[in-house]
Structure 1
């Protein structure tokens, strides 16, 4: 418990330092909360009581990027204060409360909740970003894989010059120059991880993207995203800790440790932002060695393979239906009789028109006597 508190304290210091670098932020106060477990909401309540006065009700807006957890936070906050009209909420099944989903843009408009004494809580739509990986994905299964829904288990790999690290079919990191690096990855549990030789990385990804490396979970989505674009990044590592993180916007990050300066080539889809920042969790790779080393490649289970086969079968069925419909439309168009009506002949010949008894032809306004 004490180690956990120390880790949260280090995280709070890191967030404060990062917030000071943002020019339009007027305060660097930080409260660490968990919308899943409810941790930190008591401290948040005390902080709100310090800043808000009962005689001066205000509207509280929850703002942020898409997929940052705003709606989940609103559900937990309403549950914490005992909001009566929220209904039953099941967090693991994503049932009840405000709709939340890994799909970007689920909250389409402002959702307002009236609180006691005139206060109001507003859940705002997420601020979209074209520079995130989630903007490149369309399938729900891919978005569920990229957006973390559980605790991220970091995995460390030894990376030499001439070796590459692959995260799904979206990220490739090559070590170009420098001593041995210890790369600690922080990605979702459904993202495949792999290490190979740099000279074989391009051919390997071209053959196995969507099948062995995912997300994306289909070859068609990999082809739609297009080739990866290279970004050269220079980082410095230490033998006992990491000093720099390499962040792939909307997907995750890697920490680089190992003594000396490293030059890395980071390959991501076109438009995705790659940047360097101070290490968020620098102590994952300690001086005594790698804390977790995995030889097997994770995120390859029968359950995921069944989902992948379902996506492929659904696309094949749709292509087959579209093909059959097009063939049927072509056959009907060929079998349809063509009716040719000369321009000087009326469409209805009144002299040959036979009507049943009791029926007559109504004259138009031009034919009626004046």
Structure 2
């Protein structure tokens, strides 16, 4: 009887179920083996206790699963996180999906101000996707959590998929499983709920959900990118890093040689340029400290993990060191300094500037056209 367990998959995360080893993914304790649907011990703990064990799928397995899409006739729904747009775009997705159409669903628009020009934002998304080598048939803006724009997502999928399967792909923690759960409610009478968690890497294998018309929604595991700050911070810091309410812009009038610290996670130096303002867009859980550049090194050495937190001093020991990124902001208009997983700092001046950004080694830092 135990041999049959390896042919079953968890209804929450998709991993193969097993009853032999509680330390391995997919374990089902004896008391839960008669439940329907069956979920693994890890999904049970996430759902009921918000406790995720550190189990992750191998990067090669991610690529293997993605590589199989190109040989299918499917609609590919790529979900990205608007707050971490460049960090959550799947690098090289176009070569994996072949000729299959790609619908780009941009989640978490509820984090932006209500006065946002949505047509301008949509044009910005299309431009950034094209620059990233991705050809999309349509762009839909939504918030799965707030149920904003979701009718348009369902409508677009209905128009584009025809009689094809739907593959849902995205990086970890972009709201993919939340959105798939809503799709199931609209397209299938199957009573099923994927595991939804704030922790990256919740879904461990491809999950196929049959639809009423004989086709399927295939929920792919989230791609893990270590270039995102949200992937490398300690779990205790993650809740502070990820915003769950609209961003409140923080604007600072700066002379050159002034510095901002974002907790102990990153540092922003206005190294050279005329007096101008900078606006930070990040989670309210990350405190910002301002100082003179000449005092910044001493301040960080003496107060990181304490005044400059999160993370705590103990948690900092497990994180990569900060490294410097020198960026030259050209004159002519506002630009964003983007730090993957942290947010962005908008340079509002038109005269140009030189800035240094310090972020944990490996985290993506770049200059882009401003999103707002």
Give 1:78's match in structure 2, choosing from 184, 193, 206. Answer: 184
Q: Could you tell me whether the CA contact under 8 Å between 1:38 and 1:76 is conserved in 2?
A: no
CA distance 1:103–1:49, shift in 2 (3 Å): closer
Q: Could you tell me whether the CA contact under 8 Å between 1:36 and 1:76 is conserved in 2?
A: no
CA distance 1:83–1:278, shift in 2 (3 Å): farther
Give 1:120's match in structure 2, choosing from 195, 216, 221. Answer: 216
Is residue 2:250 matched to residue 1:155?
yes
How much does 1:112 deviate?
Answer: 2.3
Q: CA RMSD in A?
A: 2.0
Is residue 2:291 matched to residue 1:196?
yes
Is residue 2:139 matched to residue 1:21?
no
CA distance 1:83–1:280, shift in 2 (3 Å): farther
TM score, norm. by length of structure 2: 0.65
Give 1:263's match in structure 2, choosing from 354, 365, 372. Answer: 354
- 2:25 is aligned to none
SS, match of residue 224 in structure 1 = coil
Residue by residue over 1:3-35, the C-alpha shift from the partner in whole angstroms, topping out at 9 and shown as x without a partner, is 958621111111011122232x23252111110
Distance 2:296 2:261 in 1: 8
Higher relative contact order (CA 8 A, sep 6+): 2
Distance 2:175 2:275 in 1: 37
Give 1:66's match in structure 2, choosing from 166, 172, 186. Answer: 172
How much does 1:237 deviate?
Answer: 5.5
Q: Could you tell me whether the CA contact under 8 Å between 2:227 and 2:362 is conserved in 1?
A: yes
- 1:246 is aligned to 337
Residue by residue over 1:48-107, the C-alpha shift from the partner in whole angstroms, topping out at 9 and shown as x without a partner, is 232233xx3x22111111121111211233344574503xxxxxxxxxx32222322111
CA distance 1:118–1:233, shift in 2 (3 Å): same
- 1:297 is aligned to none
CA distance 1:5–1:49, shift in 2 (3 Å): farther
Higher Rg of the two aligned structures: 1
Q: Could you tell me whether the CA contact under 8 Å between 1:175 and 1:264 is conserved in 2?
A: yes
Give 2:317's match in structure 1, choosing from 218, 223, 243. Answer: 223
Distance 1:80 1:254 in 2: 38
Q: Could you tell me whether the CA contact under 8 Å between 1:109 and 1:125 is conserved in 2?
A: yes
- 2:44 is aligned to none
Distance 2:221 2:228 in 1: 17
The gaps in structure 2 that reach 5 residues or longer are 1-112
SS, match of residue 336 in structure 2 = strand
CA distance 1:101–1:270, shift in 2 (3 Å): same
CA distance 1:5–1:227, shift in 2 (3 Å): closer
Distance 2:286 2:114 in 1: 26
The gaps in structure 1 that reach 5 residues or longer are 87-96, 282-370
Distance 1:113 1:177 in 2: 55
Is residue 2:119 matched to residue 1:9?
yes
TM score, norm. by length of structure 1: 0.66
Alignment: residue pair count: 260
SS, match of residue 261 in structure 2 = strand
Q: Could you tell me whether the CA contact under 8 Å between 1:177 and 1:263 is conserved in 2?
A: yes
After TM superposition, the runs of 4+ consecutive aligned structure 1 residues lying more than 6 A away are none
Distance 2:146 2:308 in 1: 32
Distance 1:80 1:212 in 2: 48
Is residue 2:155 matched to residue 1:46?
yes
Q: Could you tell me whether the CA contact under 8 Å between 1:176 and 1:264 is conserved in 2?
A: yes
CA distance 1:253–1:51, shift in 2 (3 Å): same
- 1:275 is aligned to 366
